[in-house]
Copies of this chain bind each other. A is one copy, B any other.
């Protein structure tokens, strides 16, 4: 079943905003067996929107539209939808009540523009948006489906996951697609590909393997298209065993969960309390860990000692260690982790100290040099990394590799 995506917004056409929505939607649709045929970005202009609707509805069974639903005058999607379908805009009392209730709790004043946002095309079924004021809309027309959603990413994602995909899945009658996702961290795509070559060369033609790389991590997704359920399950079970056999040391989960989610589960199971001691990551590791609901069960906190003074004061790193070896050294990293355990009473600690850049690099310790240590009881492990020249990527690589070090430590104790 073909899908066209339309993203509406002047900000995309002047290059102020990168359209990340389309790729996210395309990924979700693809996994569910839908084929995205085209992505079209157009301006907040009535005629342009109507022309895009015309094109997309003539090309695809399903058209997903994001953007142009805000409460301000530059948002014209609603008007264009009414114009295209030749219907009136009807006030949707229920949506307005929802906004009033939502805002009432937060003591925000409901304005006339919010009231205007609740005038929806007469042929639309409302998709409740729990994350914002603009309602989603589902319109069926001449055997085709058009969905309109706000362009704010978390509102769109909420609507796609909770409202749109269940309805689309119910419409879809194509051959089944089943996936097996395996999450790895600590090595690159080409290493994994090489180690799996004997497995992939003998796969049936109905099976595809995608390597989906992210900073410090690679997600493997096996997809089986159009085979009977039982055969599909047998194939995926065999692939799982083979994959764990070939690249098991890099695998942290044979399901689609994040590294921080996996870490949380293991810490909870083992009843271990964690503290992080961060320098160059500046709190990013603690942020990843606390992005998981319920992390207060196993995460005590983080000491982000960006300055050397705080490394000494809060983590009790001896000044002699900092003087003799520098802040970016095995000795400082290990002292930070041990200090973290001692100061907080945690069972397990990880520390990160490095040069994120762009400044601060030297010939001996160029930008991207990072020391990571993990400690528990009397055991300390530490490792030196040389990442990239880019600040943002160095922070991300450091946090991911700190979690890999925690994984290695936990599995060894």
Contact = CB atoms under 8 A, between A and B. Distances in A.
Contacts of A194: 111, 113
Contacts of A179: 14
Interface string A29-40: 110000111111
Number of copies: 2
A27 B55 contact: no
A105 B386 contact: yes
Nearest to A75: B211
A120 to B, nearest CB: 18
A15 B30 contact: yes
Interface in A50-99: 52, 55, 70-74
A58 B390 CA distance: 38
Contacts of A48: 37-38
Nearest to A399: B287
A1 to B, nearest CB: 14
A25 B37 CA distance: 23
A361 interface: no
Contacts of A388: 131
Given A16-B212, A25-B15, A302 B302 contact: yes
A381 interface: no
A12 B43 CA distance: 21
Contact of A310 (B11, B223, B344): B344
A162 interface: no
A113 B298 CA distance: 41
Interface in A169-208: 179, 188-191, 193-194, 200, 208
Given A282-B291, A287-B284, A301 B307 contact: yes
B295 A282 contact: yes
A17 interface: yes
B283 A284 contact: yes
A345 interface: yes
A387 interface: yes
A252 interface: no
B307 A304 contact: no
Interface in A305-363: 305-307, 309-310, 313-314, 343-345, 356-360
Most chain B CB neighbours (cut-off 10 Å) among A39, A190, A301: A301
Most chain B CB neighbours (cut-off 10 Å) among A27, A111, A307: A307
Contact of A193 (B39, B113, B286, B299): B113
A306 B282 contact: no
A16 B221 contact: yes
Given A303-B301, A388-B131, A287 B290 contact: no
Contact of A39 (B13, B23, B28): B13
A284 B281 CA distance: 11
Contact of A38 (B40, B209, B290, B303): B40
A211 B301 CA distance: 37
Contacts of A210: 10-11, 16, 44, 74
Given A17-B212, A283-B283, A301-B304, 10 more contacts: A12-B26, A13-B26, A14-B36, A40-B40, A105-B386, A154-B392, A154-B393, A296-B306, A302-B302, A310-B344
14 contacts: A13-B37, A17-B23, A111-B190, A278-B283, A286-B286, A287-B395, A290-B306, A290-B395, A296-B360, A301-B304, A302-B302, A302-B304, A304-B304, A314-B343
Interface of A: 10-20, 22-30, 35-44, 48, 52, 55, 70-74, 105-109, 111, 113-114, 130-131, 152, 154, 179, 188-191, 193-194, 200, 208-213, 221, 223, 276, 278, 281-287, 289-291, 293-296, 299-307, 309-310, 313-314, 343-345, 356-360, 386-393, 395
The 7 closest A-B pairs by CB, nearest first: A282-B290, A15-B27, A283-B283, A283-B286, A15-B26, A302-B304, A39-B41
